[in-house]
Chain A
Amino acid sequence: MGPLLLTGLRAVATVFVAHAFIYALVGALPRTGIAVLGLSAAQESSLSHFLATTDPPESYLEALARLITMEFGKSLDGVAVSTLMAQSTLTSLPVLGLSLGITATTTMLVLVWPHLLAPRVVRGGFEFLTFLPAFVPAFVILAVMVSLNQTTLATDGWQRTVIASLSVSVMPTSLALTTIRDGFDHEMSMGYTRTLRAMGLSRGRIVANLRKAVVIQIIAIADKIVTLQIAVLIFTEVIFAIPGFGNALLLAAQRTDINALIAFVVVISATVATARLLSTLVLARIDPRQRVSEG
């Protein structure tokens, strides 16, 4: 119970530290430290933006109290930030849900048939995709649509949701598939796999035995997949002009809406910390190595 409690506390502490950082960055830094960098004009400008926010937190303690009560104040428009967050997140849900579905389905397929990743070109392609900037898939899809004279598809309706979901899922899926491939390669090179081979087990039986070890590796990087999914979602929504989470975040940044910016960062941090906590809890149950080390 002890290590799990510590993991939970670590997740909560992560959100609080992220909140402290974003408060320092958008709340405290423009008001205090910027003169040291010789940016007095910027200071004046950002201070005016800061004061334009309807009810900015005056001190860190006030900001902390808001975090604890989950009341983030009002945006520049006078709308409650929590309402803004809920609306934008609801708009993003179809894209996020569909892209998660695509990632999960592809991952399952490759776990069942790992030989799909066997060709060198396929492996290299997925590796390269994980290396690219998060905004490239959306721009590539946009460029393909432009060259096919299909730009109207990306403006409205279910087609836009499908296209955006494909764009969002490309990089997290590539990351998951690369991990599966590396996982199988690693497990295949281990001594116990050689023993299974020497015992005369077929390749299919060996792969079935190794699958759990590879699933454990996928669960271990769940937080990274979620972070990547959020990053690509923000870019994709901005590129395809979907009025969801990404566009709301961009609008808050462009208008220096302090309350909204703090809330967005806290929500992103909490989502990733929750994913990390869940993956740790699942690993604690299914990973025999962790059970042994705890015991």
Chain B
Amino acid sequence: MELLVETITWTDEFDRSILSTTVFAALLSMLRALAAAILLFVLAFTLILVAEVKASRSIGWLVRLIIDALESVPAFVWIIAAVSALSSGGFVIVTVIFAFAAMPLVFNFLSGVVRNIMHQPYYLAAIALGVGNLGLILRHIIPNAVPLCMPPFFYVVGSAITVYGAIGIFGFINRRSLDLGVFLLRGKEQAALDPLLLIVSLSAYLILFVLLRWLLLSVACTKR
């Protein structure tokens, strides 16, 4: 109870309410992660369509090699390298690099889904009827793949939240920024004297991920 009262009334070293800044930072994290996840899915889908529908063996092999290389290094390492080299932890740069670095997460899943759809009778019938590539993509692949993409979409949102947090924890963002990662970093530094910021920002992460997990499970149940 005492901690709750403290959380509501306490301010940080910049005279900002800890509770309201944490809620705002959590919302911001979620929105950024959603934007990054949408961009990633659009890119991955385009790449898979090029690799699968165009069905060139060499393109497929090349894409596989690129995915292997990206997957062999944790996504946040690519991002901190980019942020370091470009001297900017801005939203656009991080989102674009995330879209490439986290590509393996989505690519492996989506390519399975697209391949599965391409072996379905309705797809083969459409080919037999002479439907073009664009028609196949718009009428068969996208409408059938989108519902299956929802559970991994929430995984990617979680992964994006992690990456944005990592940049804050590694100190690449201004300390006044409304970012949960920066809050964790500051909370860690002040932990011995006042653990409130650490506990509140950590709780915000846990609440965000409980929410995401709940959404994921709900979507999975609805699909069944």
Q: Is the CB of B88 within 8 A of A39?
A: yes
Q: Is the CB of B84 within 8 A of A10?
A: no
Say yes or no: is A269 at the interface (Cβ < 8 Å to chain B). yes
Q: Is the CB of A22 within 8 A of B81?
A: yes
In the complex, which of the residues A134, A146, A239 contacts B195, with contact meaning CB atoms closer than 8 Å?
A146
Q: Which of B162-215 touch A at CB < 8 Å?
A: 162, 165-166, 169-172, 184, 188, 191-192, 195, 198-199, 202, 205-206, 209-210, 212-213
Nearest-Cβ distance from residue B216 to partner chain A, whole angstroms? 8
**Bound complex: CA of A234 vs CA of B166, how far in Å?**
10
| B48-56, B67-75, B113-121, B127-135 - interface stretch | B67-75
Q: A18-B69, A135-B166, A136-B205 are in contact. Are A142 and B188 (CB under 8 A)?
A: yes
The digit string for A76-112, where 1 denotes a CB below 8 A from any CB of B, is 0000000000000000000000000000000000000
Nearest-Cβ distance from residue B81 to partner chain A, whole angstroms? 5
Q: Is the CB of A235 within 8 A of B85?
A: no
In the complex, which of the residues A25, A45, A142, A234 contacts B74, with contact meaning CB atoms closer than 8 Å?
A234
Q: Is the CB of B87 within 8 A of A45?
A: yes
Q: Is the CB of B87 within 8 A of A133?
A: no
Residue of A nearest to B100 (CB): A21
Say yes or no: is A189 at the interface (Cβ < 8 Å to chain B). no
Q: What residues of chain B lie closer than 8 Å to A132, measured between beta carbons?
A: 158, 205-206, 209
Say yes or no: is A193 at the interface (Cβ < 8 Å to chain B). no
Say yes or no: is B153 at the interface (Cβ < 8 Å to chain A). no
Chain B, interface residues (CB within 8 Å), range: 35 or more
Q: What residues of chain A lie closer than 8 Å to B85, measured between beta carbons?
A: 25-27, 29-30, 46, 49-50, 256, 258, 261
Q: What residues of chain B lie closer than 8 Å to A134, measured between beta carbons?
A: 74, 76, 162
Q: A14-B69, A253-B80 are in contact. Are A46 and B209 (CB under 8 A)?
A: no
Q: What residues of chain B lie closer than 8 Å to A37, measured between beta carbons?
A: 92-93
With a 10 A CB-CB cut-off, give which of B78, B83, B88, B192 has the most chain A CB atoms: B88
Q: Is the CB of B158 within 8 A of A133?
A: yes
The digit string for A36-51, where 1 denotes a CB below 8 A from any CB of B, is 0101001001100110
Q: Is the CB of A250 within 8 A of B170?
A: yes
Q: What residues of chain A lie closer than 8 Å to B142, measured between beta carbons?
A: none
With a 10 A CB-CB cut-off, give which of B72, B82, B84, B198 has the most chain A CB atoms: B72
Q: A133-B161, A133-B162 are in contact. Are A21 and B70 (CB under 8 A)?
A: yes
11 A-B contacts (beta carbon < 8 Å): A17-B65, A18-B70, A22-B78, A128-B210, A135-B162, A136-B205, A139-B202, A142-B198, A249-B80, A265-B81, A273-B72
List the interface of chain A (C-beta within 8 A of B).
10, 13-15, 17-18, 20-22, 25-27, 29-30, 34, 37, 39, 42, 45-46, 49-50, 128, 131-136, 139-140, 142-143, 146-147, 151, 223, 227, 230-231, 234-235, 238-239, 249-250, 252-254, 256, 258, 261, 264-265, 268-269, 272-273, 276
